[in-house]
Amino acid sequence: MVETGIPKLDEFLGGGIPKGKSLVYYSQPGVEGEIFGLQTVYGTLKKGGTCVFVVSSTMPEIIKDQIKEFGWDMNSYKDKLFFVDSYNPLIGAHSDEKYVVSNPDNIEYFNKTITDIIKKLPPSTIVFGSLSTIMDLCGEKETIEAVRNWNKLAMVYDHVLVYNFTAWPYSEQTLDLIKGSLFNSVITIGGIAERVIFGQYFGILKSDWAEVSRKSMLFRVLRPGGIRIFIPKILVTGPFDAGKSTFVHALSTRAISVDRLGTTIAMDHGHVDYKGFSADIFGTPGQERFDPIIKLLSGESMGVFLIVDSTNPSDFVRAKYMLDITKSYGLPYVIIANKQDLPGALKPEEIREQFHLPEDVPVVPVVAKDKKGVFEAFEVLIDRITGGV
Protein backbone atom coordinates (compact mmCIF):
# COMPACT_ATOMS: atom_id res chain seq x y z
CA MET A 1 0.00 0.00 0.00
CA VAL A 2 1.17 3.53 -0.82
CA GLU A 3 0.17 6.10 1.79
CA THR A 4 -1.38 9.35 0.59
CA GLY A 5 0.20 11.22 3.50
CA ILE A 6 -3.18 12.85 4.22
CA PRO A 7 -4.25 12.48 7.87
CA LYS A 8 -7.27 10.19 8.25
CA LEU A 9 -7.57 9.61 4.49
CA ASP A 10 -5.20 6.64 4.59
CA GLU A 11 -7.23 5.20 7.46
CA PHE A 12 -10.46 5.63 5.49
CA LEU A 13 -8.83 3.93 2.47
CA GLY A 14 -7.83 0.91 4.52
CA GLY A 15 -4.16 1.89 4.81
CA GLY A 16 -3.54 3.74 1.56
CA ILE A 17 -3.57 2.95 -2.16
CA PRO A 18 -2.78 -0.60 -3.33
CA LYS A 19 -0.20 -1.05 -6.10
CA GLY A 20 -1.71 -1.01 -9.56
CA LYS A 21 -4.55 1.31 -8.54
CA SER A 22 -5.43 4.85 -9.60
CA LEU A 23 -6.84 7.70 -7.53
CA VAL A 24 -8.04 11.17 -8.47
CA TYR A 25 -8.35 14.22 -6.23
CA TYR A 26 -11.46 15.83 -7.70
CA SER A 27 -11.45 19.49 -6.63
CA GLN A 28 -13.96 22.28 -6.91
CA PRO A 29 -12.48 25.44 -8.45
CA GLY A 30 -11.15 27.81 -5.82
CA VAL A 31 -10.05 25.28 -3.17
CA GLU A 32 -6.48 24.23 -2.40
CA GLY A 33 -6.63 20.87 -4.14
CA GLU A 34 -3.14 20.87 -5.64
CA ILE A 35 -1.58 20.33 -2.22
CA PHE A 36 -3.16 16.85 -2.04
CA GLY A 37 -1.01 15.55 -4.88
CA LEU A 38 2.11 17.17 -3.42
CA GLN A 39 1.46 15.72 0.01
CA THR A 40 1.08 12.28 -1.55
CA VAL A 41 4.50 12.78 -3.14
CA TYR A 42 6.00 13.56 0.25
CA GLY A 43 4.10 10.71 1.94
CA THR A 44 5.49 8.26 -0.62
CA LEU A 45 9.07 9.46 -0.26
CA LYS A 46 8.97 9.35 3.55
CA LYS A 47 8.08 5.67 3.35
CA GLY A 48 11.04 4.95 1.04
CA GLY A 49 9.13 4.87 -2.24
CA THR A 50 10.02 6.30 -5.64
CA CYS A 51 7.89 9.16 -6.94
CA VAL A 52 7.36 10.93 -10.28
CA PHE A 53 5.63 14.31 -10.36
CA VAL A 54 4.21 15.43 -13.70
CA VAL A 55 4.38 19.24 -13.94
CA SER A 56 2.00 20.81 -16.45
CA SER A 57 0.70 24.13 -15.09
CA THR A 58 3.90 25.84 -13.86
CA MET A 59 7.69 25.48 -13.84
CA PRO A 60 9.23 22.62 -11.82
CA GLU A 61 11.27 25.21 -9.90
CA ILE A 62 8.05 26.75 -8.57
CA ILE A 63 6.83 23.33 -7.45
CA LYS A 64 10.12 22.81 -5.63
CA ASP A 65 9.70 26.19 -3.93
CA GLN A 66 6.19 25.22 -2.83
CA ILE A 67 7.59 22.03 -1.32
CA LYS A 68 10.04 24.15 0.70
CA GLU A 69 7.17 26.38 1.88
CA PHE A 70 5.53 23.35 3.45
CA GLY A 71 8.75 22.58 5.32
CA TRP A 72 9.40 19.29 3.55
CA ASP A 73 13.11 18.57 3.15
CA MET A 74 13.54 16.80 -0.18
CA ASN A 75 17.37 16.77 -0.20
CA SER A 76 17.56 13.22 1.09
CA TYR A 77 15.09 12.03 -1.57
CA LYS A 78 16.85 13.39 -4.68
CA ASP A 79 17.47 9.90 -6.07
CA LYS A 80 13.84 8.93 -5.47
CA LEU A 81 11.99 11.96 -6.86
CA PHE A 82 11.74 12.75 -10.58
CA PHE A 83 9.91 15.54 -12.37
CA VAL A 84 8.28 15.37 -15.78
CA ASP A 85 8.48 18.87 -17.26
CA SER A 86 5.71 19.70 -19.71
CA TYR A 87 5.61 23.42 -18.92
CA ASN A 88 8.98 24.84 -20.01
CA PRO A 89 8.67 23.35 -23.53
CA LEU A 90 5.22 24.96 -23.76
CA ILE A 91 6.68 28.45 -23.20
CA GLY A 92 9.83 27.74 -25.24
CA ALA A 93 12.17 27.59 -22.25
CA HIS A 94 15.01 25.14 -21.59
CA SER A 95 14.42 22.34 -19.09
CA ASP A 96 17.02 20.62 -16.90
CA GLU A 97 14.69 17.80 -15.82
CA LYS A 98 15.38 14.17 -16.66
CA TYR A 99 11.97 13.72 -18.27
CA VAL A 100 10.57 16.31 -20.67
CA VAL A 101 7.40 16.35 -22.80
CA SER A 102 8.74 18.15 -25.86
CA ASN A 103 5.35 18.96 -27.39
CA PRO A 104 2.89 19.22 -24.49
CA ASP A 105 -0.14 20.26 -26.52
CA ASN A 106 -0.05 16.91 -28.35
CA ILE A 107 -1.29 13.96 -26.29
CA GLU A 108 0.90 11.52 -28.22
CA TYR A 109 4.03 13.17 -26.81
CA PHE A 110 2.56 12.99 -23.31
CA ASN A 111 1.57 9.39 -23.86
CA LYS A 112 5.03 8.36 -25.03
CA THR A 113 6.80 9.99 -22.07
CA ILE A 114 4.45 8.58 -19.40
CA THR A 115 4.37 5.14 -21.03
CA ASP A 116 8.19 4.98 -21.09
CA ILE A 117 8.33 5.96 -17.41
CA ILE A 118 5.76 3.33 -16.43
CA LYS A 119 7.63 0.60 -18.29
CA LYS A 120 11.17 1.52 -17.21
CA LEU A 121 10.90 2.61 -13.57
CA PRO A 122 10.41 0.17 -10.68
CA PRO A 123 6.95 0.32 -9.01
CA SER A 124 6.49 4.00 -8.18
CA THR A 125 3.90 6.62 -7.32
CA ILE A 126 3.23 8.81 -10.36
CA VAL A 127 1.43 12.05 -9.48
CA PHE A 128 -0.07 14.34 -12.11
CA GLY A 129 0.03 17.90 -10.78
CA SER A 130 -2.86 19.05 -12.99
CA LEU A 131 -4.78 16.66 -15.19
CA SER A 132 -7.04 19.61 -16.03
CA THR A 133 -4.15 21.46 -17.70
CA ILE A 134 -3.30 18.43 -19.83
CA MET A 135 -6.95 18.22 -20.81
CA ASP A 136 -7.03 21.91 -21.72
CA LEU A 137 -3.95 21.53 -23.93
CA CYS A 138 -4.70 18.20 -25.56
CA GLY A 139 -8.49 17.87 -25.53
CA GLU A 140 -10.92 16.08 -23.25
CA LYS A 141 -11.46 12.88 -25.25
CA GLU A 142 -7.79 12.52 -26.17
CA THR A 143 -6.69 12.95 -22.55
CA ILE A 144 -9.26 10.49 -21.22
CA GLU A 145 -8.07 7.81 -23.68
CA ALA A 146 -4.47 8.42 -22.59
CA VAL A 147 -5.46 8.15 -18.90
CA ARG A 148 -7.20 4.84 -19.60
CA ASN A 149 -3.99 3.56 -21.19
CA TRP A 150 -1.81 4.78 -18.28
CA ASN A 151 -4.10 3.22 -15.71
CA LYS A 152 -4.04 -0.15 -17.52
CA LEU A 153 -0.26 -0.09 -17.76
CA ALA A 154 0.02 0.83 -14.08
CA MET A 155 -1.88 -2.34 -13.20
CA VAL A 156 0.60 -4.42 -15.20
CA TYR A 157 3.72 -2.73 -13.79
CA ASP A 158 2.49 -2.24 -10.18
CA HIS A 159 2.59 1.57 -10.16
CA VAL A 160 0.20 3.81 -8.26
CA LEU A 161 -1.21 6.70 -10.31
CA VAL A 162 -2.54 9.80 -8.57
CA TYR A 163 -4.17 12.72 -10.41
CA ASN A 164 -5.10 16.25 -9.36
CA PHE A 165 -8.18 17.37 -11.28
CA THR A 166 -10.08 20.66 -11.03
CA ALA A 167 -13.70 20.44 -12.15
CA TRP A 168 -13.83 23.40 -14.50
CA PRO A 169 -16.88 23.49 -16.83
CA TYR A 170 -15.93 20.48 -18.94
CA SER A 171 -18.55 18.40 -20.73
CA GLU A 172 -20.96 16.49 -18.51
CA GLN A 173 -19.74 13.25 -20.08
CA THR A 174 -16.13 14.01 -19.09
CA LEU A 175 -17.03 14.91 -15.50
CA ASP A 176 -19.21 11.80 -15.16
CA LEU A 177 -16.37 9.60 -16.41
CA ILE A 178 -13.88 11.10 -13.98
CA LYS A 179 -16.26 10.68 -11.03
CA GLY A 180 -17.37 7.27 -12.27
CA SER A 181 -15.43 4.55 -14.05
CA LEU A 182 -12.11 6.14 -15.06
CA PHE A 183 -10.36 5.76 -11.68
CA ASN A 184 -10.35 3.17 -8.91
CA SER A 185 -10.90 5.86 -6.27
CA VAL A 186 -12.27 9.40 -6.29
CA ILE A 187 -11.58 11.84 -3.44
CA THR A 188 -13.74 14.95 -3.63
CA ILE A 189 -12.32 18.24 -2.34
CA GLY A 190 -14.68 21.16 -1.87
CA GLY A 191 -15.31 24.42 -0.11
CA ILE A 192 -17.99 25.67 2.24
CA ALA A 193 -18.83 29.02 0.71
CA GLU A 194 -20.91 32.09 1.39
CA ARG A 195 -19.65 34.63 -1.18
CA VAL A 196 -16.11 33.47 -0.31
CA ILE A 197 -14.76 30.04 0.59
CA PHE A 198 -14.29 29.95 4.37
CA GLY A 199 -13.91 26.22 4.92
CA GLN A 200 -12.54 23.27 2.93
CA TYR A 201 -13.31 19.56 3.14
CA PHE A 202 -12.53 16.25 1.50
CA GLY A 203 -14.49 13.02 1.29
CA ILE A 204 -14.32 9.65 -0.46
CA LEU A 205 -16.77 9.48 -3.35
CA LYS A 206 -15.71 5.96 -4.34
CA SER A 207 -13.02 3.37 -3.77
CA ASP A 208 -13.08 -0.13 -5.21
CA TRP A 209 -10.74 -1.57 -2.56
CA ALA A 210 -12.14 -0.06 0.65
CA GLU A 211 -15.59 0.25 2.15
CA VAL A 212 -16.71 3.85 1.80
CA SER A 213 -18.76 4.80 4.85
CA ARG A 214 -16.90 7.78 6.32
CA LYS A 215 -18.12 11.33 6.52
CA SER A 216 -16.31 14.26 4.96
CA MET A 217 -13.47 15.86 6.89
CA LEU A 218 -12.67 19.55 7.20
CA PHE A 219 -9.06 20.47 6.49
CA ARG A 220 -6.77 23.46 6.50
CA VAL A 221 -3.41 23.95 4.78
CA LEU A 222 -0.52 25.10 6.95
CA ARG A 223 2.75 26.58 5.72
CA PRO A 224 4.88 24.95 6.98
CA GLY A 225 3.06 21.73 7.71
CA GLY A 226 0.79 20.82 4.81
CA ILE A 227 -2.70 19.36 5.16
CA ARG A 228 -4.20 19.13 8.63
CA ILE A 229 -7.59 17.78 9.61
CA PHE A 230 -9.35 20.87 10.96
CA ILE A 231 -11.51 20.79 14.07
CA PRO A 232 -12.96 24.32 14.23
CA LYS A 233 -14.02 24.34 17.86
CA ILE A 234 -13.50 22.08 20.88
CA LEU A 235 -15.07 23.16 24.16
CA VAL A 236 -13.22 22.84 27.48
CA THR A 237 -15.56 23.19 30.45
CA GLY A 238 -15.82 22.21 34.08
CA PRO A 239 -16.28 23.64 37.60
CA PHE A 240 -14.30 26.52 39.07
CA ASP A 241 -10.65 25.66 39.81
CA ALA A 242 -10.79 22.26 38.07
CA GLY A 243 -7.79 23.23 35.93
CA LYS A 244 -9.38 24.24 32.63
CA SER A 245 -6.93 27.04 31.82
CA THR A 246 -3.99 24.83 32.75
CA PHE A 247 -5.34 22.11 30.46
CA VAL A 248 -5.83 24.55 27.55
CA HIS A 249 -2.29 25.91 27.92
CA ALA A 250 -0.79 22.42 28.28
CA LEU A 251 -2.45 21.24 25.08
CA SER A 252 -1.93 24.35 22.95
CA THR A 253 0.93 25.48 20.78
CA ARG A 254 -0.33 28.97 21.60
CA ALA A 255 -3.00 30.06 24.08
CA ILE A 256 -4.53 33.18 25.62
CA SER A 257 -6.35 33.56 28.95
CA VAL A 258 -8.06 36.58 30.47
CA ASP A 259 -7.42 36.42 34.22
CA ARG A 260 -8.21 38.55 37.25
CA LEU A 261 -6.99 37.70 40.75
CA GLY A 262 -5.78 34.34 39.53
CA THR A 263 -8.99 33.06 37.92
CA THR A 264 -10.31 33.16 34.38
CA ILE A 265 -12.99 35.80 33.85
CA ALA A 266 -13.37 35.29 30.08
CA MET A 267 -12.80 32.49 27.63
CA ASP A 268 -9.48 30.73 27.27
CA HIS A 269 -8.50 30.30 23.64
CA GLY A 270 -5.86 27.89 22.39
CA HIS A 271 -4.68 26.28 19.17
CA VAL A 272 -3.48 22.68 18.82
CA ASP A 273 -1.31 21.34 15.98
CA TYR A 274 -0.70 17.66 16.73
CA LYS A 275 -0.29 14.48 14.68
CA GLY A 276 -1.90 15.85 11.52
CA PHE A 277 -4.73 17.66 13.30
CA SER A 278 -5.34 21.39 13.68
CA ALA A 279 -7.88 22.39 16.30
CA ASP A 280 -9.09 25.53 18.04
CA ILE A 281 -10.07 25.04 21.68
CA PHE A 282 -12.14 27.30 23.90
CA GLY A 283 -12.31 27.13 27.69
CA THR A 284 -15.18 28.61 29.68
CA PRO A 285 -15.17 30.04 33.19
CA GLY A 286 -16.64 27.65 35.76
CA GLN A 287 -19.04 29.96 37.59
CA GLU A 288 -22.79 29.53 37.07
CA ARG A 289 -23.25 33.05 35.72
CA PHE A 290 -21.25 31.99 32.66
CA ASP A 291 -23.52 29.05 31.79
CA PRO A 292 -25.05 30.94 28.82
CA ILE A 293 -21.54 30.94 27.29
CA ILE A 294 -21.40 27.14 27.62
CA LYS A 295 -24.72 26.81 25.83
CA LEU A 296 -23.63 29.19 23.08
CA LEU A 297 -20.29 27.43 22.48
CA SER A 298 -21.81 23.96 22.70
CA GLY A 299 -24.09 24.73 19.79
CA GLU A 300 -21.03 25.48 17.63
CA SER A 301 -18.56 22.89 18.96
CA MET A 302 -17.54 19.49 17.60
CA GLY A 303 -16.49 17.94 20.91
CA VAL A 304 -16.13 18.60 24.64
CA PHE A 305 -13.54 18.11 27.36
CA LEU A 306 -15.15 18.14 30.82
CA ILE A 307 -12.40 18.89 33.36
CA VAL A 308 -12.94 17.70 36.94
CA ASP A 309 -10.73 18.01 39.99
CA SER A 310 -10.16 14.41 41.04
CA THR A 311 -9.56 15.51 44.64
CA ASN A 312 -12.82 17.47 45.00
CA PRO A 313 -15.91 15.25 44.55
CA SER A 314 -18.07 17.94 46.16
CA ASP A 315 -17.90 19.77 42.79
CA PHE A 316 -19.14 16.75 40.82
CA VAL A 317 -22.78 17.87 41.05
CA ARG A 318 -21.82 21.10 39.31
CA ALA A 319 -19.74 19.17 36.79
CA LYS A 320 -22.65 16.84 36.00
CA TYR A 321 -24.88 19.83 35.32
CA MET A 322 -22.29 21.34 32.97
CA LEU A 323 -21.98 17.99 31.20
CA ASP A 324 -25.76 17.79 30.79
CA ILE A 325 -25.72 21.17 29.02
CA THR A 326 -23.24 19.94 26.43
CA LYS A 327 -24.80 16.45 26.12
CA SER A 328 -28.08 18.05 25.06
CA TYR A 329 -26.32 19.03 21.82
CA GLY A 330 -25.26 15.42 21.11
CA LEU A 331 -21.55 16.21 21.20
CA PRO A 332 -18.85 13.58 21.71
CA TYR A 333 -17.14 14.17 25.04
CA VAL A 334 -14.28 13.00 27.25
CA ILE A 335 -14.01 13.35 31.03
CA ILE A 336 -10.62 14.68 32.16
CA ALA A 337 -9.75 13.40 35.64
CA ASN A 338 -7.30 16.18 36.49
CA LYS A 339 -4.87 16.54 39.43
CA GLN A 340 -4.14 12.82 39.57
CA ASP A 341 -0.82 13.55 41.29
CA LEU A 342 -2.42 14.94 44.45
CA PRO A 343 -3.24 12.96 47.64
CA GLY A 344 -6.82 11.73 47.75
CA ALA A 345 -7.35 11.90 43.99
CA LEU A 346 -10.11 9.55 42.89
CA LYS A 347 -9.22 7.03 40.21
CA PRO A 348 -10.92 7.29 36.80
CA GLU A 349 -13.16 4.30 37.51
CA GLU A 350 -14.28 5.84 40.80
CA ILE A 351 -15.16 9.04 38.95
CA ARG A 352 -17.05 7.01 36.36
CA GLU A 353 -19.15 5.45 39.13
CA GLN A 354 -19.94 8.80 40.75
CA PHE A 355 -21.04 10.23 37.38
CA HIS A 356 -22.93 7.01 36.45
CA LEU A 357 -21.19 7.04 33.08
CA PRO A 358 -21.50 4.24 30.50
CA GLU A 359 -18.39 2.12 29.91
CA ASP A 360 -17.87 3.61 26.45
CA VAL A 361 -17.38 7.15 27.81
CA PRO A 362 -13.63 7.76 28.29
CA VAL A 363 -12.36 9.03 31.65
CA VAL A 364 -8.72 10.00 31.11
CA PRO A 365 -6.27 10.49 34.04
CA VAL A 366 -4.39 13.77 33.64
CA VAL A 367 -1.91 16.02 35.43
CA ALA A 368 -2.43 19.14 33.35
CA LYS A 369 0.26 21.25 35.04
CA ASP A 370 2.86 18.65 33.99
CA LYS A 371 1.23 18.00 30.60
CA LYS A 372 0.73 14.35 31.60
CA GLY A 373 -2.14 12.70 29.73
CA VAL A 374 -3.29 15.85 27.91
CA PHE A 375 -2.31 14.71 24.41
CA GLU A 376 -3.58 11.20 25.07
CA ALA A 377 -6.91 12.80 25.97
CA PHE A 378 -6.81 14.88 22.78
CA GLU A 379 -6.30 11.74 20.68
CA VAL A 380 -9.24 10.03 22.41
CA LEU A 381 -11.59 12.94 21.72
CA ILE A 382 -10.40 13.36 18.12
CA ASP A 383 -11.03 9.66 17.55
CA ARG A 384 -14.61 10.10 18.75
CA ILE A 385 -15.14 13.27 16.69
CA THR A 386 -13.83 11.72 13.47
CA GLY A 387 -15.80 8.51 13.80
CA GLY A 388 -13.40 6.13 15.52
CA VAL A 389 -16.13 5.22 18.02
pLDDT tens for residues 232-248? 889 999 998 999 999 99
Residue 371 phi, psi dihedral angles, 5° rounding: 60, 25
Q: Cis (ω within 30 of 0) for the bond into 224?
A: yes
User: By the 8 A CB rule, do 242 and 307 touch?
Assistant: yes
What pLDDT, on the 0 to 100 scale, is given for residue 286? Answer: 58
**Predicted pLDDT at 343:** 97
pLDDT at residue 389, as a whole number: 39
Residue 39 has pLDDT above 60, yes or no: yes
- Cα separations in angstroms, 180 against 164, 247, 365: 15, 47, 48
Q: Which pLDDT belongs to residue 266?
A: 47
pLDDT tens string 56-113: 999 999 999 999 999 998 888 889 999 999 999 999 999 999 999 999 999 999 999 9
Give DSSP secondary structure letters for 287-345: SGGGHHHHHHHHTT-SEEEEEEETT-GGGHHHHHHHHHHHHTTT--EEEEEE-TTSTTP
Domain locations in the chain as residue ranges? 9-224, 231-385
Residue 229 has pLDDT above 60, yes or no: yes
* Domain 231-385, CATH number (from 3.40.50.150, 3.40.50.300, 3.80.30.20, 3.10.20.30): 3.40.50.300
pLDDT in tens, 170-186: 999 999 999 999 999 99
In single-letter form, the type of residue at position 220 comes to: R
Predicted structure pTM score: 0.84
Q: CATH fold of 9-224, please?
A: Rossmann fold (3.40.50)
- Per DSSP, helices labelled H in the chain are 9-12, 34-46, 60-69, 107-120, 131-138, 140-157, 172-179, 244-251, 291-298, 316-327, 348-355, 374-385
Q: What is the pLDDT of residue 295?
A: 64
Mean pLDDT of the chain: 90
DSSP 30: T
Give the Cα separation of 346 and 364 in Å (integer). 12
Q: Quick check: 11 pLDDT over 70?
A: yes
The larger pLDDT score, comparing residue 302 to residue 341, is at 341
Give per-residue pLDDT as tens, 263-296: 444 468 899 999 999 999 988 765 665 556 666 6
